[in-house]
Amino acid sequence: MRTVISRRSVRGGVLSAAVAGSLLLGATGCGGDGGEDGVPDDYKVVAGTQLCGGDAMSADASKALEVITGSSRFEASAAEYTVEHAAAALVEAYPASTVTKDVCRVFTPRGTPDFELRITWNLADGAPTDSSAPDFTELKMGELAVAAADKAYVFFACRNARFSPSSASAAHIVIGVERWGMPTEPEGDVEALKDAYATVAHSVSLAMAKELRCEKNGGLPERPVLDPA
């Protein structure tokens, strides 16, 4: 594809250009004007399965979020940050490739240690071809899945009539899950963290594939595949 220019890239240029645009995006938690204590009027704390519209996180993904963040409760996602909204934006953007865009973000509740997880989508211009960065483990999901101790990405091809009447044409989609704003290397069981990030990325990818009605769910299994490819 393109040359790796950043360790944050996974497959050459698929993510390097995306990261460059992502810094302009703001947080996507709850809104509202808030009261005297600064807490928004619509502030809620929810379980992991209720995040990102309620269709993105499986029970396994919710448990994985606890492994990643240390919390089983999270700030509720704003109403517009859902897989449904992300899928609609993706269809509108096709066939052009895109920079990284948010599906939603995950925040631990106020009064607890800060943790922000960014869940994203982007349209690539083709299937991944370059070698993965050394800190990633490759997994057999979709076209490719890769996981590290602080991020994971799933690449899959979506074929359906919304993109092209020809079954030979496909939208190449990348779903990412990444810890945001982390200044140091992650601590803890690296393999457990890799599995957790891969589980969350798989769950959101499968939800996106189903929302888009991709043929054979974009080649994604119903459960995450965590054994190395």
pLDDT digits over 54-112, tens only?
899 999 999 999 999 999 999 999 999 999 999 999 999 999 999 999 999 999 999 99
CA distance 4 to 79: 35
pLDDT at 90: 95
Cα dist. 51→77, 81, 134, 146, 178 in Å? 6, 9, 31, 23, 16
Residue type for position 228: P
Task: Supply the pLDDT for residue 47.
Answer: 97
Mean pLDDT of 146-154: 97
Helix (H, G, I), strand (E, B) or coil at 120: strand
Q: Would you state the pLDDT for residue 31?
A: 45
126 - beta bridge partners? none
Over the range 159-170, which residues count as b (16 or more CB within 10 Å of their CB) and which as e? bbeebeeeeeeb
In the block, residue with structure tokens 């800060």: 114
Calculate what percentage of the chain has a pLDDT beyond 90.
67
Give the confidence band of 184 by pLDDT, cuts at 50, 70, 90.
low
Tell me, what's the pLDDT at 5? Answer: 23
Q: Is the pLDDT of residue 42 over 80?
A: no
Kindly give the pairing relationship between strand 151-158 and strand 137-139: unpaired
Question: Rounded to an integer, what distance in angstroms lies between the CA atom of residue 117 and that of residue 29?
Answer: 11
- Is residue 156 predicted with pLDDT exceeding 90? yes
Position 174 scores a pLDDT of 98
Whether the per-residue pLDDT at 149 is higher than 60: the answer is: yes
- Report the pLDDT value the prediction gives residue 2, as an integer from 0 to 100: 29
pLDDT at 3 over 70: no
Question: Is this model's pTM higher than 0.85 or not?
Answer: no
In which residue are the tokens 């963040």 written?
69
Question: Which pLDDT does position 163 carry in this prediction?
Answer: 78
On the question of pLDDT at 146 being above 50, the answer is yes
Sorting pLDDT into bands at 50, 70 and 90, what band is 167?
low
